[in-house]
Structure 1
């Protein structure tokens, strides 16, 4: 959104506050008194005197009309121009302020420095970068020591950046307004989208100063459905907006302001979708919320990491980006992202891409096109890169303060406003195909249902994705308790293991490798979990050995950890670890290899504390193939380690 200024959004651009000081300076510097006025026209002076009287009566419109008449008598009467500019500022008419101050600068023999400074910022705010540079240079001639000040230095670097950006070809970049089914309100902004691009949630208002509500539109049969209220449990007579959803669309965190149970001016609330219904929202409470302002949340794909903006104490500036992680249903104390991202000014509206590494946000603290621009910073391990401006035409001289990007990394959505005199007329959600240089690493996803193998009853189970090369969990979530449906994120360019687990059942596991910078087509994988019972078996699909070796490779750690946890959670289960080979090699060799591999797994589990009385191991060579040993693919499936449940002690 470019400049929405409600409680859940960005407050007005801080430059306007600077001009309040300038107004006082202008009024005190240029007196309404006639002595020392630049005009020789008696009529112009008389009109100026009448304007003074009306000004003291607080009749600004009549005062301006007299001043307009005075400059018709003498077009070089510069005191009248600066006086009109000051009066228009008091009335909040910025375009008129800019017009009159320019006429003052043009006619005054020696314009005061503060007006030149203000003109430089006002020109920059309007995207008139050449004028901004000219006014700024004239100002610095008068006050050269200000060149190194933080605000002037930022303006200098921003003008250079903006002029460079405007020279880039942008013919291939096109903003597309989403259809009227989405843009059906006076204002719509701050979109959030599920990883399958099937549901878009956003904030709407029916008129500029109206109540904020959260609405949703679904993409069905190639079309967006009419946006409608997400739930009467969520929307109320208060402001609800600035929402974020997890990749599967079943966890939402949103902002509500001035509520009965709020800790501060705006707090973050959580709601979960079970089946087709959203739960009653719950204030996240401490340590997430405080007596300050917390808003503009963004959730990681699995809903376990929360980024948000806040002006709470302990930050680096006005509004900073903070992060918290959820474990065992509790959110950790938020951590400030630090100086790699945050600055003494404002950083807001974070969006963490489903890849978990690329963070997009809005800031007025880095060189940009004007006001708030959109930036991206990428995380490697725990370090964030230097933020990079998304450039023109995504950023303009207006305020751009929120963007979301699809899982595939190409399509972005954000809100664009229509303004007049810096007042918002309306806003619409638009889409754009991102240039390659600012695209995040893409991700895909798999979907399906988890059911009991015997009864086909839907199950609530944990779904976990592990990067086999780092053994780090990159996604963890749960299937829906009513439908059993799940979604798992699949990043590009990684070798991954997936585990689906529920107590009382043998877990299900599989392995897949994704190509770098290429999004695979989503797969539907339905999981049927086997209840733990005598005779059931589990293939450990993520146990790896080199050819002709029984030394377990490091990327097998996640499988061993899950096998260990299965035994710990089910202490009455007695299992055999069975080793199998393909038919290549002699019978004796395959027998020894299968037995040694099974023994290696046995040794690892007993070394972790599993009693030797609960597990045994045996090699079966190539005597129990799953598939005919006729192809390389079949042989690969036949080379395996298997858990067999021998009995379950009662």
Structure 2
């Protein structure tokens, strides 16, 4: 296998963080001394992680809240993390047991098309073929229980290389694999049609870099996979080399299409999905829901599992990834999400505390992949709400969507098309507006959810911005005076972020959205009355050039 360090990309090594059980003062000094660096943020996750593992979500929430002001570039993600702690999980995952899991490592669960067999990749098991290679295992699946897993023999078995099944097509006709068998390209994706012939995926899908975690649409014309090839989001860091808190490198999710019998150049899914850290194990539900793992976004620590929803008919426009929640995610690495063919359970791998191996020695990906991962499952009902797409935009009403401002100048009239305007058979209505207009959204007590009555108003703002590319939007969040000032400041930012997410989901670049939270400052009504407080719980949006 080939691992390449590009010229000028120095190896920064793995963060040396205080042990999780260190006194609070040690964590505090380290975080404050290193902030706002990525190393300090990883230490913050590490500090809160031990309380998350013990189920003390209130303490973990307090830790993220306390250090939040030190990390301005992580502000939106910290706010999303804090929200997670308000959703105490009713159901927790179960370890699928000793017939599959071992003191070694079990990752990448994949079901056969008929659901009768669970395949996975095992390492450091007593029954591995040889040494510390990664081998494919199979466990017969009957009535939601498993027989003893056994290593595969035949075509999918090798004694000196790493092998993994990435995915199996719904009809069972082809299998996508990762292997580092002898070939000039290195770590690559392969395809097996039927049960005999393994063929390397052609260039440009495969490269001389790490290419893995492949899934394909049922029609065989689109492949989604992970790669550490140069040109991704953030600096280049090769998979397998020490970076941040492990050896995963900076891998991104890519997509490639097959037209006229040829695979075209892969396209990076972009910065909405990918981060400067590792994204792994994409999984597609019904062609529209992308589930994947990431060290970035609003991860509470290690790799968390996220869900994003495809917008429109293209493949590079997705909603802001949503953390699937504490029902699944832990402060360690959680990845390899799949749903069983009968759609009763979701399965994934984790090196969380309390598994079959030693979970006190740190993350399995932190020590080069030699740690101990187990396979877990959770009833699909426990996460079903997280897999539901956000509400569709309501139809635009051709009216002036604003409070009645005083006229300042002649209204601007939009009439030209822009590159990011949606393709529709019915053109968007022309909306008249003035730059002095204020678009106000109001919220429930302690609420951050946008009420349906404001959808039309915000949809109109998005239309105006699509039709006027030079315009930007200032989004200011406010609260009433109930509760501590620091809580209200965070709450106001979360409200502003919710409006920004709504606008961005309608095709507006986040670079055009300026958000700020003001807390209890600048009330517009009397905070001693219910009516006054209701008016102060708001977000104000103003367009500017």
TM-score by length of 1: 0.46
- Find the counterpart in structure 2 of residue 594 from structure 1: none
Is the aligned partner of 1:290 residue 2:207?
yes
Partner of 1:392, secondary structure, is coil
Distance, in Å, in 1 between the alignment partners of 2:297 and 2:36 is 23
Aligned equivalents of 1:399, 1:423: Cα separation in 2: 7
CA deviation after TM superposition for structure 1 residue 437, in Å: 1.3
- Equivalent position SS for 2:372: strand
Aligned alpha-carbon RMSD (Å): 3.5
Q: Which residue of structure 2 aligns with residue 218 of structure 1? A: 140
Aligned to 1:323: 255
Listed as ranges, the matches of 1:361-510 within 5 Å are 361-379=292-310, 380-382=312-314, 383-407=317-341, 409-417=343-351, 418=353, 419-424=359-364, 425-434=371-380, 435-439=383-387
Aligned-pair CA distance for 1:342: 2.5
Deviation at 1:268, TM superposition (A): 0.8
- Number of aligned positions between the proteins: 333
Are the equivalent residues in 1 in contact too, given 2:123–2:135 (CA < 8 A)? yes
Equivalent-residue separation in structure 1 for 2:261 and 2:157 (angstroms): 24
2:155 partner SS: coil
Higher relative contact order (CA 8 A, sep 6+): 2
Change (3 A) 1:104 1:329: closer
Question: For 1:327-342, what aligned pairs fall within 5 Å after superposition?
Answer: 330-342=262-274
CA distance in structure 1 between the partners assigned to 2:300 and 2:318 by the alignment? 23
Larger radius of gyration: 1
Unaligned runs of 5+ in 2: 4-10, 52-59, 235-249, 354-358, 365-370, 390-545
- In structure 2, relative to structure 1, the CA distance for the partners of 1:105 and 1:327 (3 Å cut) is closer
The one-character-per-residue Cα deviations of 1:91-118 (angstroms, maximum 9, x if unpaired) are xx8518x727834967x9xx97338975
Say if 2:196 is the partner of 1:248: no
Deviation at 1:203, TM superposition (A): 0.8
- The 1:163–1:233 alpha-carbon spacing in structure 2 relative to 1, beyond 3 Å, is same
Determine whether 1:192 maps to 2:124: no
Unaligned runs of 5+ in 1: 1-5, 9-15, 21-88, 141-146, 442-650
CA distance in 2, matches of 1:304, 1:212: 29
**Higher-strand-fraction structure:** 1
Tell me by how many angstroms 1:327 deviates. Answer: 5.5
Partners of 2:281 and 2:292 within 8 A in 1 = yes
Q: Offset of 1:271 from its aligned partner?
A: 1.0
Per the alignment, do residues 185 and 304 of structure 1 end up closer, same or farther by CA in structure 2, a change over 3 Å counting?
farther
Answer whether contact 2:332 2:350 (CA < 8 A) is retained: no
Residue 227 (structure 1) aligns with: 149
**Aligned residue among 37, 46, 49 for 1:125:** 46
Residues 1:194 and 1:233: Cα distance change in structure 2 (over 3 Å): closer
Q: Report the alpha carbon displacement of residue 329 of structure 1 after superposing the two structures with TM.
A: 5.7
Structure 2 matches for 1:33-44, cutoff 5 A?
Answer: none
TM-score (structure 2 length as normaliser): 0.54
CA distance in 2, matches of 1:403, 1:365: 17
Shift of 1:365: 2.6
CA 423–368 in structure 1, closer or farther in 2 if over 3 Å, else same:
closer
Query: Relative to total residues, which structure has the larger helix share, 1 or 2?
Result: 1
Residue by residue, what CA displacement relative to the aligned partner does 1:1-48 show, whole Å, maximum 9, x if unpaired?
xxxxx999xxxxxxx95875xxxxxxxxxxxxxxxxxxxxxxxxxxxx
Equivalent residue for 1:352?
A: 284
Instruction: Give deviations 1:577-604, integer Å, cap 9, x for gaps.
Output: xxxxxxxxxxxxxxxxxxxxxxxxxxxx
Q: Distance in 1 between matches of 2:333 and 2:325?
A: 13
Instruction: Label 1:221 to 1:176 Cα distance change in 2 as closer, same or farther (>3 A).
Output: closer
